[in-house]
Amino acid sequence: MAKGKNHQPGGAAAVVEALVRPAVEGFGLRLWDVRFEKEGPDWFLRVLIDRDEPLDTDTCEAVSRAIDPILDEADPIDQSYYLEVGSPGLGRRLTRPEHYEQLKGQKCAAHLIRPDEQGRRDAEGILEGLSADGMVTLKSDDGDYTFPVKAAGYVKLCDDEDLF
> What is the overall mean pLDDT for the chain?
90
User: Per-residue pLDDT averaged across 46-54, rounded?
Assistant: 94
Say which residues have a Cβ less than 8 Å from residue 143's Cβ, sequence separation at least 6. Answer: none
SS (H, E, C) the chain: CEECCCCCCCCHHHHHHHHHHHHHHHCCCEEEEEEEEEECCEEEEEEEEECCCCCCHHHHHHHHHHHHHHHHHHCCCCCEEEEEEECCCCCCECCCHHHHHHCCCCEEEEEECCCCCCCCCEEEEEEEEECCCCEEEEEECCEEEEEEHHHEEEEEECCHHHCC
Sorting pLDDT into bands at 50, 70 and 90, what band is 164?
very low
User: Per-residue pLDDT averaged across 10-39, rounded?
Assistant: 93
Sorting pLDDT into bands at 50, 70 and 90, what band is 27?
very high
pLDDT of residue 160: 59
36 pLDDT higher than 60: yes
Measure the CA–CA gap between 33 and 12, rounded to whole angstroms: 12
User: Per-residue pLDDT averaged across 1-22, rounded?
Assistant: 72
Annotated domain spans of the chain? 2-86, 97-162
Using a pLDDT cut of 70, give the percent of the chain over it.
91
Q: What's this model's pTM, rounded to 2 decimal places?
A: 0.79
Give the distance from CA 105 to its chain's centroid: 18
State the architecture of 97-162 in CATH terms. Answer: Roll (2.30)
Using a pLDDT cut of 90, give the percent of the chain over it.
84
Measure the CA–CA gap between 136 and 152, rounded to whole angstroms: 9
Measure the CA–CA gap between 51 and 117, rounded to whole angstroms: 38
The CATH code belonging to domain 2-86 is 3.30.300.70
- CB of 151 closer than 8 Å to CB of 120: no
